Chains A and B, each alone.
Chain A
C-alpha cells in the first residue's frame, strides 16, 4: 500500500510539472501590464519565505485558514480565467473547487484520502497557476536558480536543524487547502510540500523560455526523477527536498548558460518558438 502513496504523490508532482508545461504553451495568464520579475522581487520573496512560516504559526487557526483560502481563491481565479474566458464560468469553477476542498475536509476529515484526493488536485492547479504567473511575468532562469540555491540552504536550516518545517506542516495539515501534496496508505502519510513542487514546476518553464525546449524537457525529467528517488528512500520525518533540487537547478542553469550563452527574453522566446494556436498548421520549418 506504501506504493500507492508513492504513486499518488509522485504522480501528483508529475501532473503539476506536465500541467505547468502544457499551460505555459497554451494560455497567457493576466500578468501585471507593467513590470518584470526581477532580483528585487526575488529578495522580497526570500523575505516572505522566511517570515510567512512564523506568521502562520502565530496566527490563530481560523485566520491562517482564511489566508490560505484567500490565496487559493486568487491563484485559482487567474489560473482558470484564460482557460474559461467567461468571468461567471471562472468563478463557478473556482468556487466549485474550493467548496469541494472545504467540503471534503469537513465531511471526511483532513486525514482522509478523500480529502487528500481533492486537496492534491487543487494544489496541482495552484502550482500550475503560480509557476506560470512567475514564468510569464519574465522570471529569469537565473532568478529561479538563485531561489533554488537559497532554498537549499534554508531548507537545511528550517527542516533539518530547526523544527520549523515539521511544526508548520503539523499546524497546517489540520486545515483545508493545506499546502502539502500527500496520500495516506495506512502506514503514515507521504507528502511533498507546495514550495518544492513550485520550484520543480517553474524551473522547466523558465529554462524553456531562456534556453529552449531541450533545456526545459531535461529539467522536466530531472526534477520528478530526483523527487521520485527521494520519496523512494526509507527516510523518516521531514526531508529537505530542496537540498537536492536546489543544486540540481543551479547546475542546469550553469550548464545552459555556458552552452547557450545569454538568456532569451520572453519576446525572443516567442519570436523563435511561437505559440501554436489550436487548429493552426505547422510551417515546414516548425514541422522539420
Chain B
C-alpha cells in the first residue's frame, strides 16, 4: 500500500501542467484563433443552425498569402457576419466590425424630430438621470424617453418622475432606438413596475467546447423595488433598435403586472457578450451566455410586442408617432 502511495506521489509530481504553445501572429494563426474562439465559445451556433466547420473551409481558402491588415480584417468581418449577431464585433486599431442587419433590414419605427416636436415632448421637456420626460395628451399621459441603458439614474430621479406624473392615467416608457448598455440598469428600471419579486427569465453559459454544452439555466429574478412603485398602466415602446440590455428590459417588462409592450419586435441580442483576443492584439466580442424569457424561449432574435404597431408614412408626414398614439389609446382605455 505504502509503495503504491509513493508511486502515486511520484506520478503526481511528474505530471506537469502543459500550457498550450504560444500562438503565432500570422494571418493563418489569427484566422484559426478567431475561428476557434467562435467555435468553442459562441453560444448560438447550434440554435442558429450555423455550420461553422464549413465556414472555416470557405474562408480559409480566401485567406491571401500576404494580406494587409485591412484585407484580413474585412475578410474576418465577413466571416463573423455569418453569425448574424449584433453582439459580435472585431476590434482592430483602425476599425470595428459590426453586423447591423438586425435593424437596418426593418422599418425604423422611430423619428426623434416627431418626439421632440410640439405634439409630444416639445422643447420644454424635463431631464432626469438620462431620461427625458414630459406630459402628453393634454397632461393625461406621462411620457419618458430613455435612449441609452448606459445613462445612469437613481431612485431620486424616478421618485421625481413618478411624482410629476402622479395625476396621469398611465406612463409610456419609450426605449426605441435604445441599443442597450448596462443590464443592471435594465433590471433596476423594471423593478419600479413589479409588486413582488418575479422570475422574468433564465440565463446559462457554455461548458466546454461543444456547441450545445450549457450549464443548467439560472433563474433571473426581477426584484420589486422596496419603496418606489408605479401602480398605474405602463406601456413600453419598442422597435428593432431596442437591443441587448433593452431587449432584457423588455423581456422583464413582459412579466410586469400593468405593462403592455407596443411597437415592433425588439432587435434581440439575447446573448451576454464576453471578449477574447487574437494573437495580433485585436479583440473579439461574441455572445457567450444565452438568455431566455420566463418560458425558456431564446431572446436572441428579439421579443414580440403585445401589440404590434408600425409607424405609418401618412402619420409621419403629419408629425404623428403612430406607436405613441397607440400607447395613449391603450392607457386611456384601461
Do the two shown chains form a genuine complex with each other? no
